[in-house]
A and B are shown apart, each in its own frame.
Chain A
Amino acid sequence: GIQVEQSPPDLILQEGANSTLRCNFSDSVNNLQWFHQNPWGQLINLFYIPSGTKQNGRLSATTVATERYSLLYISSSQTTDSGVYFCAPLKGNTNAGKSTFGDGTTLTVKP
């Protein structure tokens, strides 16, 4: 299966700072999602981004499928951004629910 490597594993920021989270994957993919897991364990969909760039408020994501990586940008971070961020790429023409998850980046935003 696909190998997924997320970096950095842990990140501590001061409120207002910007950050970039990276996701490398070992094979070509047809699908990639970014999730935020909040302190209660809920997985929140951030982006569905098999290729290209998308933006949603202070967050944006870029996937370069040919080079097998995706980036998640968080600008002007807030304490509510704290949690674990997962990328989940999927190879093949199947549903995203069969994605392979990385081990995540744990983000702590301090006030």
Chain B
Amino acid sequence: SQTIHQWPATLVQPVGSPLSLECTVEGTSNPNLYWYRQAAGRGLQLLFYSVGIGQISSEVPQNLSASRPQDRQFILSSKKLLLSDSGFYLCAWGGQANTEAFFGQGTRLTVV
């Protein structure tokens, strides 16, 4: 069966520091991969998605970037964190068109 791993679970980082969050999927090949952010008390906002290695689409302009160095690995990065980058970040994967999406356990990022 397919599983999705996301780490770390929680992270406290100072303003101006770099960020790297990693997400990996097991049990499937060539998945579509997604990064979402959830602000407190709100729904999820799609940040990036990828349909293949090296293919990244950004949904909203921001201080973050994403990369997909391997088929089942998706990384969310920042060179210099801002206070406004605080939030709950979730990675998700899905198959081809009109199939379910499945989410990782999320990373709670606090920028101080």
Residues B105 and A95 in contact, CB atoms below 8 Å apart: no
Give the nearest-CB partner of A4 in chain B.
B43
Residues B99 and A101 in contact, CB atoms below 8 Å apart: no
| Chain B, interface residues (CB within 8 Å), range | 20 to 34
Residues A41 and B96 in contact, CB atoms below 8 Å apart: no
Please report which residues of chain B, range 71-109, place their CB below 8 angstroms from some CB of chain A when the two chains form the complex: 88, 90, 92-103, 105-106, 108
Q: Out of A42, A45, A90, A97, which one reaches B106, CB within 8 Å?
A: A42
Distance A92 CA – B101 CA, assembled complex (angstroms): 15
**Known contacts A102-B43, A103-B42; is A41 also within 8 Å of B105 by CB?**
yes
Taking Cβ atoms with an 8 Å cutoff, the residues of A that contact B are: 4, 30-31, 33, 35, 40-43, 45, 48, 50, 86, 88, 90, 93-99, 101-104
Taking Cβ atoms with an 8 Å cutoff, the residues of B that contact A are: 32-34, 38, 41-46, 49, 88, 90, 92-103, 105-106, 108
